[in-house]
Homo-oligomer: A and B are copies of this chain.
Amino acid sequence: MSVEEGLLVDRIGQPTGVAARLASQIGFILEVDRLKTILRRTPLVAADRRENDAEHSWHLALMVIVLAEYAVEPIDVVRALKLVLIHDLVEIYAGDTFVYDASAQVDQVEREQAAAARLFPLLPDDQASEFRALWDEFELRRTPEARFAKAMDRLQPMLLSFHNEGGTWRTPGVTDAEVRRRMSVIGDGAPELWTYAQRLIELAADRGWVATAPS
């Protein structure tokens, strides 16, 4: 998406006489409609198509509610919810980066930093700072909430891939060892769920849904 395209809210414009703070907030809320158009590699289980970032973010939030009890230490649920709800917003401008695509990851940080610098300042200053801080927290994984949120972000596509008889794990070049390596951060946030996830990888390898790395 080019910067030149402009903000979604500017196509029609807002009513006149609206307080600047509310106008900024509505402009941001409208702009993030774009998250629904950012496709991930992961296939849905309920339909024969790929998932988008907004659906994925909703699914993670629901998982936080259902699975919070598995966090390695008690978490503040509202903080974990905010983390998963906003963690992919930068992809509106930076695009989705496939977890098993090393070449796309080369400039991922740079692209996402530029996107963050463009997106979050659409909000009033105090909220721009809050959103930026939450996004940084998710990326750095230094809090229990961020480690748990990251665990959800890894576990969710695993569930979809397993229940699609492999899904993205069938991508050429991907092996069970690589899946295990990339998904192991689940263990930092929710050890019991990492045990579960490893069972999925084992079964997928047994069933030929993911290539096995030479031992």
Contact = CB atoms under 8 A, between A and B. Distances in A.
Interface of A: 8-9, 11-12, 15, 17-18, 22, 25-26, 28-30, 32-37, 44-47, 51-52, 54-55, 57-59, 61-63, 65-67, 70, 77-78, 81-82, 85-86, 123, 127, 159-160, 162-163, 165, 192-193, 196, 199-200, 203
Contacts of A203: 15
B34 A46 contact: yes
Contact of A36 (B33, B47, B66): B47
A199 B86 CA distance: 29
Contact of A58 (B9, B85, B123): B85
Given A54-B54, A78-B81, A81-B78, A45 B30 contact: yes
B11 A163 contact: yes
A68 to B, nearest CB: 10
B66 A86 contact: no
Contact of A62 (B86, B162, B165, B193): B86
Contact of A51 (B15, B36, B47, B162): B36
8 contacts: A8-B46, A11-B163, A12-B165, A17-B199, A32-B59, A34-B46, A54-B59, A61-B85
Contacts of A26: 159, 196
A54 B61 CA distance: 11
Given A15-B200, A15-B203, A62-B29, A36 B55 contact: yes
Nearest to A160: B33
Given A29-B66, A66-B123, 18 more contacts: A8-B163, A9-B163, A15-B199, A29-B67, A30-B159, A33-B46, A33-B160, A34-B46, A36-B44, A36-B51, A54-B58, A57-B58, A58-B58, A58-B61, A62-B85, A65-B85, A66-B127, A81-B81
B163 A66 contact: no
A180 to B, nearest CB: 15
Nearest to A8: B45
